[in-house]
Amino acid sequence: MAGTGVVFYLRKSFRVLFGETHMYLPTVFAETDAAFIADFVDRHPLATVVISGHDGLVIDHIPFMREGELTVGHRLIAHAAKANSLWRALDTGAPAVLIFSGAGAYISPALYPSKQTTHEVVPTWNYVAIHIHGRLSYTIDDLEKRAIVDRLTNKMEAVRTDPWKMSDAPARYIDQMLQGVVGLVFDIDTIVAKTKASQNRLPEDCAGVLAGLASKEETSEAARIVERSVSSSR
């Protein structure tokens, strides 16, 4: 889709390194709303990182923040402990995948009104998953690391009424802490996104799912995503 940075194919380099890594993606669940995708990554920043290291696959969990738009040609940033072997396992600019997911909820057949007429229903699971393919680099430059950590901190603290700042801590202590991390930079090549929110069910079944999810605080986000899917299909 031109202008969105959302595509549904993989670069050859990923197929070579990881095999056919694209997730199962029926058309009805394909997510193409670039604004929704970017907002979801903002709200669920903890990524599962998958890289092809010198000795095979390396997988870890690291929060990333986008810089600017979440589109091809832009980047995300993060930092990791220097003791973490992930950065040592990659050549800078190595192919990698960031996986962001959330809004998961079990969907009971009891939520479907159609159960009362056919009984031909089974459980499922709703969720959002975003796979961002690109190239991961690291930096040990002190100024670059400081800039990355400062931007990440400001972003995460922005929701607080009294946000913590790096300058709140003694400069010598911050310098010491920065020696223990590496900066990470992820350049985006492709984005594959999936929203599984009961779009394949009858309208009355979607309404039943929405009511069931909305009745519990722990599934309220999943309910909002079902409501969004229902509204967009009208």
pLDDT (tens digit, 9 = 90+) per residue, 120-133? 889 999 999 999 99
Measured CA to CA, the distance from residue 135 to residue 18 in angstroms comes to 14
Looking at the domain assignment, is residue 136 inside a domain?
yes
Alpha-carbon span 165 to 204, nearest angstrom:
49
pLDDT at 19: 47
For residue 9, pLDDT beyond 70: no
Q: Which of 16, 38, 10 is nearest to 130 (CA)?
A: 38
Tokens of 42: 């903002």
Provide the CB-side half-sphere exposure for 206 (13 A, CA): 19
Q: Which domain holds residue 34?
A: 12-102+127-197
Residue 228: inside a domain: no
- For the segment 155-167, what is each residue's pLDDT rounded down to a tens digit? 999 999 999 999 9
Is there a domain that residue 39 lies in? yes
pLDDT over 80 at 182, yes or no: yes
CB neighbourhood size of 93 (10 A): 13
Q: Is residue 120 part of a domain?
A: no
In a domain, 145, yes or no: yes
Looking at every residue in the chain, the average pLDDT score rounds to 89
CATH of the domain at 18: 2.30.110.10
pTM (two decimals): 0.88
Please give the tally of structural domains in the chain.
1
Residue 191 lies in a domain: yes
pLDDT of res. 14:
41
Amino acid, single-letter form, for residue 121: V
> Which residues lie across from 105 on neighbouring strands?
126
Write out the H or E segment, with its range, that includes residue 142: helix 142-157
Tokens of 194: 């999936």
29-38 per-residue burial string, b: 16 or more CB within 10 A, e: under 16: bebebbebbb
